[in-house]
Amino acid sequence: MPPRPPAPRLTHFLCIPLVTSSSRPQLQSTLSIFKDEVAKTSTRGIPDGIPEEAIKPLGTLHLTLGVMSLLTPERLEGVLKVLHELNLTELLSSIKPASSSPKLESSRRNSQDATQDRVPIHITLQGLRSMQETRKTSVLFAAPLDPDLRLYSFCRKLREVFCDFLVQDARPLLLHATVVNTIYVPGKRSTGGRGRKERLLLDARALVARYEEFLWMQGVRLEKVAVCRMGSKVGKSGEEEYEVAGEVEVP
Integer Cα distance of 190 and 95 in angstroms: 52
Q: Is the pLDDT of residue 212 over 50?
A: yes
In a domain, 154, yes or no: yes
In a domain, 109, yes or no: no
Looking at per-residue confidence, does 196 or 52 come out higher? 52
pLDDT, mean of residues 3-17: 91
Per-residue pLDDT at 77: 98
Could you tell me the pLDDT band of residue 111, with boundaries at 50, 70 and 90?
very low
Per-residue pLDDT at 92: 94
Per-residue pLDDT at 104: 46
Residue 172 class from Cβ within 10 Å (0-12 exposed, 13-18 middle, 19+ buried)?
A: exposed
Integer Cα distance of 233 and 59 in angstroms: 10
Tell me which residue range forms the domain holding 18. Answer: 12-100+114-123+144-176+217-249
In a domain, 226, yes or no: yes
Integer Cα distance of 37 and 49 in angstroms: 9
Number of domains in the chain: 1
Looking at per-residue confidence, does 185 or 17 come out higher? 17
Neighbours of 230 (CB within 10 A): 14
Could you tell me the pLDDT band of residue 227, with boundaries at 50, 70 and 90?
very high
Nearest to 231 by CA among 180, 174, 184, 172: 184
In a domain, 139, yes or no: no
Could you tell me the pLDDT band of residue 41, with boundaries at 50, 70 and 90?
confident
Per-residue pLDDT at 189: 43
Integer Cα distance of 175 and 168 in angstroms: 17
In a domain, 203, yes or no: no
CATH code for position 24: 3.90.1140.10
pLDDT, mean of residues 115-139: 89
Q: Is the pLDDT of residue 181 over 80?
A: yes
| Least-confidence region, from 38-52, 119-133, 141-155, 207-221 | 38-52
In a domain, 131, yes or no: no
Per-residue pLDDT at 110: 46
In a domain, 89, yes or no: yes
pLDDT, mean of residues 102-114: 47
- In this prediction the pTM is 0.87
Integer Cα distance of 231 and 12 in angstroms: 9
Could you tell me the pLDDT band of residue 87, with boundaries at 50, 70 and 90?
very high
In a domain, 204, yes or no: no
